[in-house]
Chain A
Amino acid sequence: MSIILDKVNYIYGSETAYELHALKDINLVIEDGQFIGIIGHTGSGKSTLIQHFNGLIKPTSGSIYYNGEDISDSDFNKKKLRSKVGLVFQYPEHQLFEVNVFEDVCFGPRNLGLSEKEAQLRAYEALKMVGFEEDLFYQSPFELSGGQKRRVAIAGVLAMKPDILILDEPTAGLDPKGRDEILEQIKTLHETTNMTVILVSHSMEDVAKYVDRLIVMNQGEVKYDDTPKEVFGHYLELEEMGLAAPQVTYIMNRLREKNIPVNVNVTTIEEAKEEILRVFKNR
């Protein structure tokens, strides 16, 4: 169930004063079962990019293939694509509208034309998958906490049984614990269902901890596309793009400058701890 982007370009407001080349010659292959992170500062084109994945935005030039089919073909089923490539936007407030949580999650499967029974079954499953408590199923979605709203929004997309789940900054505005809970939930989801997960994030610490492939967007181009370790090795270049590496990467590099023989290729606290303890032992 792969997505292939071939020389995709996108220009906003073509031939006006506000013309903006948001994506430049993007070539990408999204393989099955990967946990991918996308980083880039605001305006780097990452939001535009993810909206191409499910056909919400049509490329100005270039092609996008889903399972080998060109999604811009006139006989291509766009609605099916949107159910298979699930996109959860940043603010759950933008999609919650029903009288209660359960009804809201049913909205997606109902739009797919499923039977009422099937829709409800899927909604139930989806809410369970995101760890939503059963006694809150009939609460109004507007009275939930930020973290719970986030879960309902994700469930609303999961209920369409996508093969690929794209999350645009799912932790924005959450407190540290809420952030960890959501990310852990997404990780579990990825591990149990083997669904492809694409996580758009501003937090280098988060992507370092969770993803196995990291795409860095800058000024409409894919700057790096590699494992987080490799990408964060370029921390000086990342800084030039207005990004950064996780704090531990800086610590390791500073230690190395002071002639402590640590391996700088470290991105998480756990690894940093092991590495520092190792050099202490071998001293």
Chain B
Amino acid sequence: MIRDITIGQYYPKDSVIHKLDPRTKLVGTLAYIISLFLFNNFLGYIVVTLFLVGVIKASQVPFRFIIKGLKAIIMLLMITVLFNLFLTKGTPLVEFWIFTITKEGLRISLFMAIRLIYLIIGSSMMTLTTTPNQLTDGLESLLGPLKKIKVPVHEIAMMMSIALRFIPILLEETDKIMKAQIARGADFESGNLVKKAKSLVPLLVPLFISAFRRANDLAMAMEARCYSGGEGRTKMKPLLYQVNDYRAYAIFVLYFAAIIAMEIVL
């Protein structure tokens, strides 16, 4: 039941996008998200669409796989659309009972919907083409300057990658504990909210104890392997920009410029 959940849905391929430096992809995604809110005309949408389609094509990730990520935001999408549709004032288009749909409302809700969808597709392009490990490495490197103001960047990145490793293990363990308790007549499904919350105790106690135990073991194992924080550490896979990364940066700049130019000119 629980093993159906997939975390960090990396889609293994050997495309140009996959091979980009994680920092390039992080910066690019950020630039892309900002760009989505910079324009307000049809031409802008065309540019963004072209850009997005280009990236998807280059990544070789099947389109239906990307769409999957949208399912999670359907509710959010509906709410946004409905709010904008009914609550925007302007020239009335359709009127019934207490609801009024205006021309402006239609326009804004349509744009908002597209923006949200593009936002999700764009950022899932990053997670689909970058392993969680590369992502944490990229974050660690990009946030590196924060070390100067005493932000424990290395430690945060290390925590993130350990969490990524242990999430599947703990999910599997949750499954096992649930089964062991169901075998003792436990019921995790029926009853009201209070009863349900109470029924979680036999699940959570063993899970937490196990998680603490694992944390303890892991800390010991890391210490035994000479881990002492980021200081004096070398990297097996240091991040190095390749030619393609510079090309990608050039494309971002051009894309960004195009969006801004369009907004100013039109």
Chain A residues within 8 Å of B, Cβ to Cβ: 51, 54, 56, 79, 82-83, 86-89, 91, 93-97, 107-108, 111-112, 142, 156-157, 160
Contacts and interface: CB of A to CB of B under 8 A. Distances in A.
Contacts of A86: 183
Contacts of B209: 93, 142
Interface of B: 173, 176-177, 179-187, 201-202, 205-206, 209-210
A107 B182 contact: no
B185 A89 contact: no
Given A56-B179, A89-B176, A89-B179, A94 B206 contact: yes
- B contact patch SS: helix
Contacts of A111: 184-187
Contact of A157 (B176, B183, B205, B210): B183
A107 B184 contact: yes
Nearest to A79: B185
B32 to A, nearest CB: 30
Contacts of A95: 177, 180-181, 184, 202, 206
Top 8 closest pairs, chain A to chain B, by CB: A111-B185, A97-B205, A95-B180, A108-B184, A87-B183, A94-B180, A89-B180, A94-B177
Contact of B206 (A54, A82, A93, A156): A93
A56 B183 contact: yes
Contact of B202 (A79, A89, A107): A107
A160 B180 contact: no
A283 B84 CA distance: 101
B184 A97 contact: no
Contact of B184 (A51, A91, A142, A160): A160
Contact of B183 (A89, A91, A96): A89
B182 A97 contact: no
Contacts of B186: 107, 111
Given A89-B180, A107-B202, A142-B209, A94 B185 contact: no
A113 to B, nearest CB: 9
Contacts of A87: 183
A96, A97, A157, A160 pick with most chain B CB within 10 angstroms: A97
B182, B185, B205 pick with most chain A CB within 10 angstroms: B185
A94 B186 CA distance: 13
Contact of B182 (A56, A93, A160): A56
B204 to A, nearest CB: 8
A246 B185 CA distance: 37
Nearest to A166: B183
Contacts of B177: 94-95
Contacts of B176: 89, 91, 94
Contacts of B181: 95
A258 to B, nearest CB: 48
Contacts of B180: 89, 94-95
A94, A107, A142, A156 pick with most chain B CB within 10 angstroms: A94
A97 B187 contact: no
Nearest to A105: B184
B185 A108 contact: yes
A87 B176 CA distance: 12
